[in-house]
Amino acid sequence: MIRTSPLKLVLVAAIPSLALFAVGSAVTAQDASADVRIRVRAGGSAHVRIGGGHVRAPRVRVIRPWWRHHYVHRPVIHVGGHIWVGGYYQDRSFAQPPPPPPACDCGPQYYGPIAPAPAPAPYVVAAAAEPELPRWGLGVFLGGVSVDGMHEGEDLGFVGQFRLTRGLLVEGEIAKNTLEDGGRVDRRLMAGLTYELGAERRWAPYVTGGLGTTQVEVTGGWQDSQAVAEIGAGLRWRLSPRIALFGDARLGSRESVDRDDDLALPTDASARALVPDEDESYTRVRLGAMITF
Protein backbone atom coordinates (compact mmCIF):
# COMPACT_ATOMS: atom_id res chain seq x y z
CA MET A 1 0.00 0.00 0.00
CA ILE A 2 1.45 3.46 -1.08
CA ARG A 3 0.57 6.44 1.06
CA THR A 4 0.94 9.96 -0.56
CA SER A 5 0.10 13.26 1.05
CA PRO A 6 -2.39 15.66 -0.73
CA LEU A 7 0.29 18.34 -1.19
CA LYS A 8 2.46 15.90 -3.09
CA LEU A 9 -0.44 14.99 -5.37
CA VAL A 10 -1.07 18.68 -6.22
CA LEU A 11 2.57 19.26 -7.06
CA VAL A 12 2.73 16.16 -9.20
CA ALA A 13 -0.36 17.20 -11.12
CA ALA A 14 1.04 20.70 -11.72
CA ILE A 15 4.31 19.49 -13.15
CA PRO A 16 2.83 18.39 -16.54
CA SER A 17 1.09 21.73 -16.94
CA LEU A 18 4.30 23.61 -16.39
CA ALA A 19 6.05 21.33 -18.80
CA LEU A 20 3.42 21.86 -21.52
CA PHE A 21 3.77 25.59 -21.07
CA ALA A 22 7.47 25.46 -21.65
CA VAL A 23 7.09 23.17 -24.60
CA GLY A 24 4.59 25.50 -26.27
CA SER A 25 7.24 28.10 -26.84
CA ALA A 26 9.62 25.55 -28.25
CA VAL A 27 7.09 24.12 -30.75
CA THR A 28 6.87 27.40 -32.64
CA ALA A 29 10.52 27.20 -33.57
CA GLN A 30 10.41 23.66 -34.79
CA ASP A 31 8.38 21.53 -37.11
CA ALA A 32 4.87 20.68 -35.94
CA SER A 33 5.41 17.14 -37.01
CA ALA A 34 8.24 16.75 -34.51
CA ASP A 35 8.05 13.90 -32.09
CA VAL A 36 7.22 15.19 -28.61
CA ARG A 37 7.92 13.00 -25.61
CA ILE A 38 7.25 13.98 -22.06
CA ARG A 39 8.57 11.98 -19.09
CA VAL A 40 7.52 12.91 -15.62
CA ARG A 41 9.15 11.37 -12.48
CA ALA A 42 7.20 11.45 -9.34
CA GLY A 43 10.38 12.11 -7.40
CA GLY A 44 10.13 15.85 -8.38
CA SER A 45 11.70 16.19 -11.95
CA ALA A 46 10.28 16.08 -15.56
CA HIS A 47 11.96 15.49 -18.90
CA VAL A 48 10.44 16.76 -22.20
CA ARG A 49 11.79 15.51 -25.48
CA ILE A 50 10.66 17.20 -28.79
CA GLY A 51 11.80 15.62 -31.92
CA GLY A 52 15.40 14.72 -31.68
CA GLY A 53 16.24 17.50 -29.21
CA HIS A 54 16.39 17.10 -25.45
CA VAL A 55 15.02 19.68 -23.10
CA ARG A 56 15.30 19.14 -19.37
CA ALA A 57 12.74 20.86 -17.30
CA PRO A 58 13.91 22.51 -14.13
CA ARG A 59 13.99 20.32 -11.01
CA VAL A 60 11.32 21.08 -8.53
CA ARG A 61 12.04 20.04 -4.95
CA VAL A 62 9.14 19.09 -2.89
CA ILE A 63 9.53 20.18 0.73
CA ARG A 64 7.83 17.88 3.17
CA PRO A 65 6.61 19.30 6.41
CA TRP A 66 8.43 17.92 9.45
CA TRP A 67 5.24 16.71 10.99
CA ARG A 68 4.54 14.44 8.02
CA HIS A 69 7.79 12.50 8.16
CA HIS A 70 7.30 8.83 8.50
CA TYR A 71 10.00 6.86 10.27
CA VAL A 72 10.54 3.24 9.63
CA HIS A 73 11.18 1.50 12.90
CA ARG A 74 14.41 -0.43 12.78
CA PRO A 75 15.27 -2.62 15.74
CA VAL A 76 18.43 -1.63 17.60
CA ILE A 77 20.69 -4.36 18.83
CA HIS A 78 23.21 -3.35 21.47
CA VAL A 79 26.14 -5.61 22.23
CA GLY A 80 28.37 -4.49 25.03
CA GLY A 81 29.82 -5.28 28.39
CA HIS A 82 32.96 -4.72 30.44
CA ILE A 83 35.81 -6.68 31.93
CA TRP A 84 37.15 -5.72 35.38
CA VAL A 85 40.59 -6.87 36.45
CA GLY A 86 42.18 -5.77 39.70
CA GLY A 87 41.22 -4.80 43.18
CA TYR A 88 39.27 -2.00 44.66
CA TYR A 89 40.28 0.54 47.19
CA GLN A 90 38.19 3.34 48.46
CA ASP A 91 39.71 5.82 50.83
CA ARG A 92 36.66 6.58 52.83
CA SER A 93 36.27 7.00 56.54
CA PHE A 94 33.59 4.90 58.18
CA ALA A 95 31.60 5.48 61.28
CA GLN A 96 32.61 3.73 64.46
CA PRO A 97 30.73 0.47 65.17
CA PRO A 98 28.00 0.69 67.76
CA PRO A 99 28.97 -0.23 71.33
CA PRO A 100 28.20 -3.79 72.47
CA PRO A 101 24.94 -4.33 74.28
CA PRO A 102 25.19 -4.17 78.08
CA ALA A 103 25.58 -7.47 79.87
CA CYS A 104 22.43 -8.57 81.56
CA ASP A 105 22.02 -11.61 83.76
CA CYS A 106 18.27 -11.62 83.38
CA GLY A 107 17.74 -15.33 83.52
CA PRO A 108 16.12 -17.39 80.80
CA GLN A 109 13.87 -15.41 78.45
CA TYR A 110 11.69 -16.57 75.62
CA TYR A 111 12.94 -13.99 73.14
CA GLY A 112 16.34 -13.51 74.71
CA PRO A 113 19.67 -14.38 73.11
CA ILE A 114 20.53 -18.01 72.76
CA ALA A 115 23.34 -19.00 75.08
CA PRO A 116 26.27 -20.67 73.32
CA ALA A 117 26.63 -24.37 73.75
CA PRO A 118 29.14 -25.33 76.44
CA ALA A 119 32.55 -26.28 75.13
CA PRO A 120 33.16 -30.00 75.20
CA ALA A 121 35.39 -31.22 77.96
CA PRO A 122 38.93 -32.05 76.84
CA TYR A 123 39.52 -35.69 76.13
CA VAL A 124 41.66 -37.13 78.87
CA VAL A 125 43.28 -40.48 78.40
CA ALA A 126 42.79 -42.50 81.55
CA ALA A 127 46.01 -43.78 82.98
CA ALA A 128 46.36 -47.53 82.96
CA ALA A 129 45.60 -48.99 86.35
CA GLU A 130 48.69 -50.31 88.08
CA PRO A 131 48.55 -53.98 88.95
CA GLU A 132 47.76 -54.73 92.56
CA LEU A 133 50.71 -56.17 94.44
CA PRO A 134 50.46 -58.82 97.16
CA ARG A 135 50.64 -57.43 100.67
CA TRP A 136 51.86 -60.44 102.71
CA GLY A 137 54.67 -62.89 102.15
CA LEU A 138 56.05 -65.94 103.98
CA GLY A 139 59.21 -67.82 103.01
CA VAL A 140 62.21 -69.92 103.95
CA PHE A 141 65.85 -69.54 103.10
CA LEU A 142 69.13 -71.44 103.25
CA GLY A 143 72.58 -69.92 103.06
CA GLY A 144 76.05 -69.60 104.53
CA VAL A 145 77.77 -67.43 107.12
CA SER A 146 81.34 -66.43 107.87
CA VAL A 147 82.37 -64.84 111.21
CA ASP A 148 85.53 -62.73 111.24
CA GLY A 149 86.65 -64.58 108.15
CA MET A 150 87.63 -67.61 110.23
CA HIS A 151 84.53 -69.47 111.32
CA GLU A 152 82.13 -70.60 108.62
CA GLY A 153 78.86 -72.41 108.80
CA GLU A 154 75.32 -72.83 107.57
CA ASP A 155 72.44 -70.39 107.91
CA LEU A 156 68.82 -71.53 107.95
CA GLY A 157 65.70 -69.53 108.77
CA PHE A 158 62.18 -68.26 108.16
CA VAL A 159 61.23 -64.84 106.82
CA GLY A 160 58.02 -62.86 106.71
CA GLN A 161 57.13 -59.61 104.88
CA PHE A 162 54.39 -57.00 104.98
CA ARG A 163 54.09 -54.41 102.18
CA LEU A 164 53.63 -50.86 103.40
CA THR A 165 53.75 -49.17 99.97
CA ARG A 166 54.37 -50.40 96.44
CA GLY A 167 58.11 -50.61 97.06
CA LEU A 168 58.60 -50.59 100.83
CA LEU A 169 58.25 -53.74 102.93
CA VAL A 170 58.73 -54.61 106.59
CA GLU A 171 60.67 -57.82 107.05
CA GLY A 172 61.11 -60.10 110.07
CA GLU A 173 63.48 -63.03 110.37
CA ILE A 174 64.06 -65.97 112.72
CA ALA A 175 67.21 -67.94 111.91
CA LYS A 176 69.97 -70.16 113.26
CA ASN A 177 73.49 -70.50 112.00
CA THR A 178 75.82 -73.32 113.01
CA LEU A 179 79.61 -72.85 112.98
CA GLU A 180 82.36 -75.43 112.90
CA ASP A 181 80.08 -78.45 112.66
CA GLY A 182 77.98 -77.48 115.66
CA GLY A 183 80.75 -76.19 117.94
CA ARG A 184 78.93 -72.84 118.05
CA VAL A 185 75.28 -72.08 117.50
CA ASP A 186 73.87 -68.56 116.98
CA ARG A 187 70.14 -68.04 117.23
CA ARG A 188 69.09 -64.78 115.58
CA LEU A 189 65.95 -62.64 115.75
CA MET A 190 65.84 -59.60 113.44
CA ALA A 191 63.50 -56.96 111.97
CA GLY A 192 64.20 -54.56 109.14
CA LEU A 193 63.06 -52.70 106.03
CA THR A 194 63.34 -53.74 102.39
CA TYR A 195 62.81 -51.45 99.39
CA GLU A 196 62.14 -52.96 95.96
CA LEU A 197 62.99 -51.05 92.77
CA GLY A 198 60.23 -51.74 90.24
CA ALA A 199 58.07 -53.86 92.48
CA GLU A 200 55.53 -54.48 89.67
CA ARG A 201 58.13 -56.01 87.36
CA ARG A 202 59.09 -59.64 87.12
CA TRP A 203 62.66 -58.96 88.22
CA ALA A 204 63.11 -56.44 91.04
CA PRO A 205 66.37 -55.54 92.75
CA TYR A 206 66.14 -54.43 96.37
CA VAL A 207 68.15 -53.05 99.28
CA THR A 208 67.63 -54.08 102.87
CA GLY A 209 68.77 -53.36 106.40
CA GLY A 210 67.88 -54.63 109.84
CA LEU A 211 68.54 -54.74 113.56
CA GLY A 212 68.26 -57.65 115.95
CA THR A 213 69.75 -59.78 118.65
CA THR A 214 71.71 -63.02 118.68
CA GLN A 215 72.04 -65.67 121.37
CA VAL A 216 75.48 -67.33 121.18
CA GLU A 217 76.10 -70.80 122.65
CA VAL A 218 79.49 -72.51 122.59
CA THR A 219 80.12 -76.17 123.34
CA GLY A 220 80.95 -76.55 127.06
CA GLY A 221 78.07 -74.37 128.32
CA TRP A 222 79.40 -70.87 127.49
CA GLN A 223 76.70 -68.35 126.42
CA ASP A 224 76.53 -64.73 125.38
CA SER A 225 74.03 -62.20 123.96
CA GLN A 226 74.87 -59.89 121.08
CA ALA A 227 73.24 -56.91 119.35
CA VAL A 228 73.22 -57.24 115.57
CA ALA A 229 73.01 -54.67 112.73
CA GLU A 230 73.33 -55.43 109.04
CA ILE A 231 72.77 -54.07 105.55
CA GLY A 232 72.48 -55.86 102.22
CA ALA A 233 71.25 -55.97 98.65
CA GLY A 234 69.51 -58.63 96.60
CA LEU A 235 67.25 -59.57 93.69
CA ARG A 236 63.69 -60.87 93.69
CA TRP A 237 62.34 -62.99 90.79
CA ARG A 238 58.56 -63.38 90.61
CA LEU A 239 57.69 -66.76 89.11
CA SER A 240 53.94 -66.14 89.37
CA PRO A 241 51.62 -63.71 91.15
CA ARG A 242 51.94 -65.89 94.30
CA ILE A 243 55.43 -67.41 94.19
CA ALA A 244 58.77 -65.58 94.17
CA LEU A 245 62.44 -66.51 94.56
CA PHE A 246 65.00 -64.24 96.19
CA GLY A 247 68.68 -64.04 96.92
CA ASP A 248 70.82 -61.47 98.75
CA ALA A 249 74.14 -60.85 100.44
CA ARG A 250 74.44 -59.10 103.82
CA LEU A 251 77.19 -57.56 105.88
CA GLY A 252 76.72 -57.24 109.64
CA SER A 253 78.32 -56.51 112.95
CA ARG A 254 77.81 -58.04 116.41
CA GLU A 255 78.51 -56.61 119.84
CA SER A 256 78.18 -58.32 123.20
CA VAL A 257 75.53 -56.81 125.49
CA ASP A 258 75.38 -59.36 128.33
CA ARG A 259 78.86 -60.82 128.60
CA ASP A 260 79.80 -62.59 131.83
CA ASP A 261 83.54 -62.40 132.24
CA ASP A 262 83.41 -64.55 135.35
CA LEU A 263 81.96 -67.38 133.31
CA ALA A 264 84.58 -70.07 132.92
CA LEU A 265 85.80 -70.61 129.40
CA PRO A 266 85.55 -74.07 127.80
CA THR A 267 88.46 -76.36 128.64
CA ASP A 268 88.66 -77.67 125.09
CA ALA A 269 91.03 -75.52 123.02
CA SER A 270 88.93 -75.81 119.89
CA ALA A 271 85.82 -74.75 121.77
CA ARG A 272 87.68 -71.91 123.45
CA ALA A 273 88.61 -70.58 120.00
CA LEU A 274 84.91 -70.30 119.13
CA VAL A 275 84.14 -67.92 121.97
CA PRO A 276 83.34 -64.57 120.30
CA ASP A 277 85.07 -61.34 121.10
CA GLU A 278 83.15 -58.37 122.38
CA ASP A 279 82.90 -57.10 118.80
CA GLU A 280 82.86 -59.19 115.66
CA SER A 281 81.77 -58.84 112.06
CA TYR A 282 80.22 -61.32 109.70
CA THR A 283 78.90 -61.84 106.20
CA ARG A 284 76.09 -64.09 105.06
CA VAL A 285 74.27 -65.09 101.90
CA ARG A 286 70.61 -66.14 101.58
CA LEU A 287 68.73 -68.04 98.85
CA GLY A 288 65.04 -68.60 99.42
CA ALA A 289 61.47 -68.89 98.19
CA MET A 290 58.38 -67.01 99.27
CA ILE A 291 54.63 -67.35 98.93
CA THR A 292 52.83 -63.97 98.62
CA PHE A 293 49.14 -63.18 99.14
In a domain, 28, yes or no: yes
Q: 143 with 288, same domain?
A: yes
Quick one: 174 and 276 in the same domain?
yes
Q: What confidence category does residue 120 fall into, taking pLDDT thresholds of 50, 70 and 90?
A: confident
Does 208 map to a domain? yes
Most trustworthy range by pLDDT among 17-31, 239-253, 266-280: 239-253
Domain boundary, last residue among 41, 68, 95: 68
Q: In which order are the strands placed within the sheet that holds 53-56?
A: 36-41, 45-50, 53-56
Range(s) of the domain holding residue 28: 6-68
For position 285, which CATH number holds? Answer: 2.40.160.20
pLDDT at 172 over 80: yes
3-state secondary structure of 20: helix
d(CA 42, CA 156): 156
Residues 147 and 258 in one domain: yes
Is residue 247, in this structure, part of any structural domain at all?
Answer: yes
Which of 2-16, 105-119, 136-150, 181-195 is the least confident region?
Answer: 2-16
Nearest to 142 by CA among 290, 291, 289, 287: 287
CA gap 99, 119 in Å, rounded: 27
Q: Is residue 260 in some structural domain?
A: yes
Position 159 confidence tier, pLDDT thresholds 50, 70, 90: very high
Is residue 232 assigned to a domain? Answer: yes
The answer on 152 and 20 residing in a single domain is no
Same domain, 61 and 201: no
Question: Of 19, 45, 68, at which residue does a domain stop?
Answer: 68
Q: Work out the mean pLDDT of the chain and round it to a whole number.
A: 77
Q: What is the pLDDT of residues 183-221, one digit of tens each?
A: 999 999 999 999 999 999 999 999 999 999 999 999 888
Q: Do 185 and 273 lie in a common domain?
A: yes
For the ranges 79-83, 206-210, 250-254, the lowest mean pLDDT is seen at 79-83
3-class SS at 16? helix
Is 283:233 a contact under the CB 8 Å cutoff?
Answer: no
Q: How far is CA 144 from CA 37, 73, 177, in A?
A: 169, 133, 8
Q: Is residue 77, in this structure, part of any structural domain at all?
A: no
Candidate from 16-20, 81-85, 124-128, 275-279 with smallest mean pLDDT: 16-20
Residue 100: pLDDT band (50, 70, 90) is: confident
Residues 58 and 148 in one domain: no
pLDDT score recorded for residue 258: 76
Looking at residue 92, its pLDDT comes to 55
**Minimal CA–CA distance to 224: which of 187, 181, 179?**
187
**Are 36 and 155 contained in the same domain?**
no
Say yes or no: 176 and 267 in one domain.
Answer: yes
Domain count, the chain: 2
Domain membership of residue 51 (yes or no) is yes
**Percent of the chain, pLDDT > 70?**
58
Establish if 196 belongs to a structural domain: yes
Among 50, 68, 86, where does a domain finish? 68
Mean pLDDT within 2-29 = 51
